[in-house]
Amino acid sequence: MTLRVQGLGKRYGDSWALRDCSFELERGRVTALVGANGAGKTTLLTMLAGVLRPDEGTVEARGRISFVAQDKPLYGHLDAGGMFQIARRLNDVWHQQRAESWARRFDVPLDRRCRRLSTGQQTQVALAVALGSRPDVLLLDEPLASLDPVVRRDVMRELLTEAADTGMALLMSTHVVAEISGVADSLVLLRGGKLVLSGDLDELMSSHSRYVGPPARTPPAGEVVHASHHEQQSAFLVRGGDRPGEPWVTEPVTVEDLVLAHLTGGGAA
């Protein structure tokens, strides 16, 4: 365990932005944090980073934590080299070569002021600063939204290599479901400020099934996560239960099926 969250919650006035959230991050594993806008993703990440104080629950972390927020705060009058100098002074551990190599890998000029960099280049400077501190846990809040698809793929490849080589735990917030498959080892899914699904992604996939068959009000087995009904057939995405026989057909569940079913809150459509 690198980071453990127990019953974490944050309240604004009479409303809870997040409540009763518990999960763990493991060394060397990539966890996707998924949820619609307003689900509590940013609130969770800022509490894990220590920027925001929770109103309930605890965060237990081993080692250093780095956080790249959505707005990627940089000093616009400084160039990338100047940002690295500040980071070296503020961090007990700093790896200058790692930061510079990341910036060069993605064609960021080290001597250009940050305000004159493109949005994508600013993202790369923020990632370089975060990785230069050699974190044990790296928290990313929608970090790749400003990158084109090719660069986004290359960044993810580099981050996966970093996690595998150093044992860094990576928690990445995203609303692009396609980014999860083939990248994430684990999943944390929030809906309306509540944790509705978490765990090893392969285990979550194997515990869910999709059944298609004749019109029916209830599935032949399992707990309904999502249901759709048409004139000639019904389809159920369920959790648990034994595989039914004819006339029901069992179809494979994709990551997109799993995520969207839980994001919509179950029930019938």
Averaged pLDDT for residues 19-37: 95
Dist. CA 43–CA 53, nearest whole Å: 10
Predicted pLDDT at 147: 87
DSSP 102-126: HHHHTT--TTSBGGGS-HHHHHHHH
Summarised one tens digit per residue, pLDDT across range 214-258 is 999 999 999 999 999 998 999 999 999 888 989 999 998 999 999
Over residues 123-161, the pLDDT tens digits come to 999 999 999 999 999 999 987 888 888 999 999 999 999
% the chain with pLDDT above 70: 98
Higher pLDDT, 179 or 23: 23
Q: What is the pLDDT of residue 215?
A: 92
Encode pLDDT of 172-213 as tens digits.
Answer: 998 778 778 889 999 999 999 999 999 999 999 999 999 999
Note the Cα 256 to chain centre separation in Å.
14
What span, in angstroms and rounded, lies between the C-alpha atoms of 255 and 197?
13
- pLDDT over 90 percentage in the chain: 81
pLDDT at 266: 55
* Nearest Cα to Cα of residue 100 among 92, 91, 111, 110: 110
The answer, yes or no, to whether residue 269 has pLDDT greater than 80, is no
pTM metric for this prediction = 0.92
User: 1, 61, 35, 13: which is closest to 195 by C-alpha?
Assistant: 35
The average pLDDT across 69-76 equals 88
- Give me the helices (H) in the chain, please: 41-48, 80-90, 96-105, 119-132, 149-166, 201-206, 255-263
**Is the pLDDT assigned to residue 36 strictly greater than 70?**
yes
